[in-house]
Structure 1
Amino acid sequence: MTGTTDPSARAHGWVAHLRDGGTTPWLAWSATGTPTARPLPGAQQLELLRRLNLDPRGPVTPELADRVLAAPAAGRGKADLPLVGLPHRGFGAAAVDPETISAHELLRVASVLLADDLVALGADPVATSWPRPWRRRIRLVGDPLVATATREHLLGVGRPEGGPRPFVVAIGRPLDELLARTWTQRCFETGATPWAEWLRFWRERDQLPDRADLVASVRRWGGRRPFVRVVTDLDRLPRQVGVRSLPVVRVPGADQAELARRVAAVVGLRVDRQERPGLMRTLQRRIPDSGAAPVGVPAREHEWVARSAARTVRAVTRRGYSVVGDVADLQPRPAPTSSVPSGPDDRQVLDLAIRMVVDPGWRRERQRREEVER
């Protein structure tokens, strides 16, 4: 790094370099620029802009660069960090080399940009059809990913949930998978605590969350034995809800769920409470596929999951509910080895966030569809 008599001029020169699409790291930058009255952005914003410039899907437009530099860092974490090598007042956050900033800190800025994009996009319309009075009346509980997709499909063909004396259809999965899908769907609705913390919360109470507790969900809707079906064979689910087929359910990867969790927290601050579900449903449909595996229950939690699954099997059997499939399918899968990753990797999440910030394709789908309809 070449020294300079005016560190502020050097910093402003680097900001201008990044705004013009540059990718030179801070410690390798030696040129100077013209200082302005505007305060310098934080190191998180500057490093995120540099990494956006490095993405081959670029270039980053000046408008997007200005948005990145002005974006705050959401959630719990450090305030805007000063650049190492600049005069330091001796209090506040310590100066840093931007290249050493963690992916978690950069995601705090990226999630704000994506939340603003989502709010500007608006919620996709929900397909509906005239209700059919002769339909089979059902209430869906259990696996939230399958239940949500099934519920939307039924609404589109004129078979909405509810009605007098409905059949309660409880969609079962191996409990470890059901827990993972419950957290994932929560991320795409109102947000949640991080995956490991969420699991620990329920394990310490030796309870299951509402959607993963099939028996409690059935009781909550007043399900009586002749009007309850516990479905563990998903190939037979369409017949139980009165249709010939159902759409294939897309299971988000760990990075998609984690990014949605962060975006949901910011969206909740941008819009009224009743608007957030529609916006997050839109994100769930449009978020790019990264190929990452879904979250999984770590080996240290498997003993608790196995005990909870055994209680569920006993309760279903004792109450005499009809099971479409095999009740043993509610048992968890074998415990993974400790070397198998179970949660999201912040670096993969950041890669997905950068892809979505740079490439606006996920925001253009509705525009193209509207043009085709016209």
Structure 2
Amino acid sequence: MTGDSSASAAGWVEHLRQGGTTPWSAWPDRTAPAPGAAPLLPGAQQLELLRRINLARGSAAPDQGLADRVLATTAAGRGKADLPLLGLPTTGFGPAPVDPATVGAHELLRVASVLVADDLVALGADPAPARWARPWRRRFRLVGDPVLATGLREHLRGLGRPEGGPRPHVVALGAPLDELLARTWTQRCFEHGSKPWAEWLRFWRERDQLPARVDLADSVRRWHPRRPLVRVVTDHDRLPRELGVRSLPSSLARVPGADQAELARRVAAVVGLRVPTAERPSLMRTLQRRIPDSGVAPVGVPARERDWVASSAARMTRQLTRAGYPVVGDLADLAPRSAPAAVTGADDEQVLDLAIRMVVDPAWRTERQVRQ
């Protein structure tokens, strides 16, 4: 590294630390850096992420503490090592130099997800709502739709209605199979992580099997095969009666968007390295409640997988029909929806925008009134 290029690069890093947004390719300053500037340069991923964070902060005062965090954060997961800046001398070994502006969103997310995970660990888990259990109330066991079941368990526990107990009524939460698959993957992302959506779906299609929480017939058989104590519910408007409550919050059925699930998938992998295994579920559930809305639709099944989903739904419907379980609604509702999904995966740019929003805006970490 020559003296001039070293001074120019270090000056640009200091410019970013002070809240600057000038791209490296347009950096004109060739003067020496300010006293105390670090001679070792961060990778292009960290530098470009900091520049984008500065753009998101707008006219806000520089936050050098945040800047130093970004520049010191190591990228998580599989990907490229820290990339050197284009235009600086190299040793001929290691990754090729790049213009930070050309670094893809996937690489920037490897750094941004670590920042979000560290903020989540520092925040800690929200206290779980609970009241004194009322043993005279109807006992229940929820299987099926994992997003709805998770919200229901928490809501009912807050009413003194914990799941389980002697001879519980098994309530199988049904939905169109393409939606059940999407919700199952989404909930896995907010629990302990998962493969990317397309890979996860292909994994099950190649085996011609359904995940345990999606296969309603197998779930019911596992928990309670006796027909009088089972209800397969596809009409969710009638759920309160099956659970012995007057009403349920409409927010329980809210499904996180594709970008929220993908960010959670990445964050879960980092959180798993930061805290003991037993603490990760409560932290990820906290993230699920607090993650900002972005208006992006949940993931959907791509056209190439729809034939397999349709045949799997028909097979599951036949199994439930032969078993003779009581149905609240219509088993025909388990068939996938006919329209192809508009969103068949997460867009890395949208996920990165969400991650930067969470890094810049502390509201999700400080707001006490969180969603159910």
Q: TM-score, normalised by structure 1?
A: 0.94
Whole-Å separation in 2 of the counterparts to 1:116 and 1:208: 34
Q: 1:146: which partner in 2?
A: 148
**1:214/1:60 CA distance change after superposition, 3 Å:** farther
Residue 24 (structure 1) aligned with residue 8 (structure 2)? no
Do the aligned residues in 2 keep the contact of 1:228 with 1:322 (CA within 8 Å)?
yes
Whole-Å separation in 1 of the counterparts to 2:38 and 2:201: 48
**Offset of 1:263 from its aligned partner?**
0.5
State the Cα RMSD in Å. Answer: 1.5
**1:5/1:163 CA distance change after superposition, 3 Å:** closer
Q: 2:109: which partner in 1?
A: 107
Residue 180 (structure 1) aligned with residue 178 (structure 2)? no
Do the aligned residues in 2 keep the contact of 1:53 with 1:59 (CA within 8 Å)?
no
- Cα-to-partner distance string for 1:253-309 (whole Å, 9 max, x where unaligned): 100000111111100000000100111011000000000000000000000000100
Whole-Å separation in 2 of the counterparts to 1:59 and 1:282: 29
Whole-Å separation in 2 of the counterparts to 1:274 and 1:33: 50
Q: 1:316: which partner in 2?
A: 320
Q: Identity, % of aligned pairs? A: 74
Q: 1:47: which partner in 2?
A: 48
Do the aligned residues in 1 keep the contact of 2:10 with 2:38 (CA within 8 Å)?
no
Q: TM-score, normalised by structure 2?
A: 0.95
Q: 1:372: which partner in 2?
A: none
Whole-Å separation in 2 of the counterparts to 1:188 and 1:262: 10
Matched to 1:54, the amino acid is L
**Offset of 1:142 from its aligned partner?**
0.2
Matched to 2:180, the amino acid is L
Whole-Å separation in 2 of the counterparts to 1:101 and 1:126: 40
Aligned pairs for 1:1-374 within 5 A? 6-31=4-29, 32-34=31-33, 36=37, 38-56=39-57, 58-248=60-250, 249=252, 250-336=254-340, 340-366=342-368
- Cα-to-partner distance string for 1:226-270 (whole Å, 9 max, x where unaligned): 111000000001111111111222211100000111111100000
Whole-Å separation in 1 of the counterparts to 2:290 and 2:320: 37
- Cα-to-partner distance string for 1:190-230 (whole Å, 9 max, x where unaligned): 01110000000000010011111111111121331111100
Whole-Å separation in 2 of the counterparts to 1:281 and 1:300: 32
Structure 2, unpaired ranges of 5+: none
Whole-Å separation in 2 of the counterparts to 1:307 and 1:224: 27
**Offset of 1:341 from its aligned partner?**
3.4
**1:256/1:239 CA distance change after superposition, 3 Å:** same
Corresponding residue pairs, total: 363
Q: List, as ranges, runs of 4+ consecutive aligned residues in structure 1 with deviation greater than 4 Å.
A: 35-38, 56-60
